[in-house]
Amino acid sequence: MNIQQLIHYLYRPDADIFEASLLLAQHARPDLDIERYMHLLHAWSVELREQIDPEDDVKHRIAKLNRFLFREKGFKADHDDFYNPANSLMNEVIERRRGIPVSISILYATLGQRIGVDLQGISFPGHFLVKVAVEEGVFVLDPYHYGVSLSEEQLAHLLQHAAPGASAEMMMQFLNAATPEETIMRLLRSLKTVYTRQQDHEQTLDILNIMLLLDPSLVDERRERGLLLYQLECRNSALSDLDRYLRTRPKGDDLVKIQSIVETLKEEKATLH
């Protein structure tokens, strides 16, 4: 799958985040049959709708969704092997019935929407969540922990753990619905973390390339890619990224280090010419 196809798909007004996550997985697994998983999702949706009474309110529908996905289908958090890249590839998540917050949330929200519950993903710091509007306000749910509803106090605790010092006003911003692009970016960040931990430079570079195609304005990722390219002795590409990084963030914490590398690369380039 051409990554440009995924990017174009994400900007379509009818972009489906479940299908988009499969398109991303197909990049890692070229033989992935997307239609097979789309048909499986449809079959599950039909099976779940048969359990829904037309009179069921949002809370009852969510309870039935939780029972269906976590009890009947056996999905659960992969605490034992959290940093397995399979947890970020939707086809693998479905086959293994294991995932991380963002991947389980994508499946959870998609199934919820198929039974008339307008679940929306939230790219909350440190832990992807979903939300739904009800008469009492907004319910925030954690599909990674079996769809439990989170209180404002629990959300504040999660935020302080991921972003110490964040204010209550900031928490409201973090509860905005995630766009398809933001959700895919969250999957990409998870994969980048995995491959970085594994010191798999080739895969890390691949993910960074996708991230910067999706959002060329990313500053930290451009720096990270530049340093990785330098390590891999791709001098010209490293110079391009790191020089642009310095222009974008001229007062970064690592200014001296990056400047030194850029100067070295420029000297090498001048010598070659």
DSSP of the chain, one letter per residue? --HHHHHHHHTSTT--HHHHHHHHHHHHSTT--HHHHHHHHHHHHHHHHTT--TT--HHHHHHHHHIIIIIIS--EE--TTTT-GGGGSHHHHHHHTEE-HHHHHHHHHHHHHHTT---EEE--TTS-EEEEEETTEEEEEEGGGTTEEEPHHHHHHHHHHHSTT--HHHHHHHTSBPPHHHHHHHHHHHHHHHHHHTT-HHHHHHHHHHHHHH-TT-SHHHHHHHHHHHHTT-HHHHHHHHHHHHHH-TT-TTHHHHHHHHHHHHHHHHHH-
Report the CATH architecture of 3-174.
Roll (3.10)
Q: Which tens digit of pLDDT belongs to each residue from 153-173?
A: 999 999 998 888 887 778 888
pLDDT at 1: 60
Tokens 């390339």 belong to 209
Query: Please, where in the chain does CATH 3.10.620 lie?
Result: 3-174
Which residues of the chain have a pLDDT value below 50? none
pLDDT at 273: 61
Q: Which tens digit of pLDDT belongs to each residue from 14-66?
A: 999 999 999 999 999 999 999 999 999 999 999 999 999 999 999 999 999 99
Task: State the fold for domain 180-192+200-272.
Answer: 1.25.40
Query: Please, where in the chain does CATH 1.25.40.10 lie?
Result: 180-192+200-272
pLDDT at 158: 92
pLDDT at 173: 86
Instruction: Tell whether the torsion through CA atoms of 20, 26, 27 and 29 is positive or negative.
Output: positive
pLDDT at 250: 85
| pTM of the model as a whole | 0.94
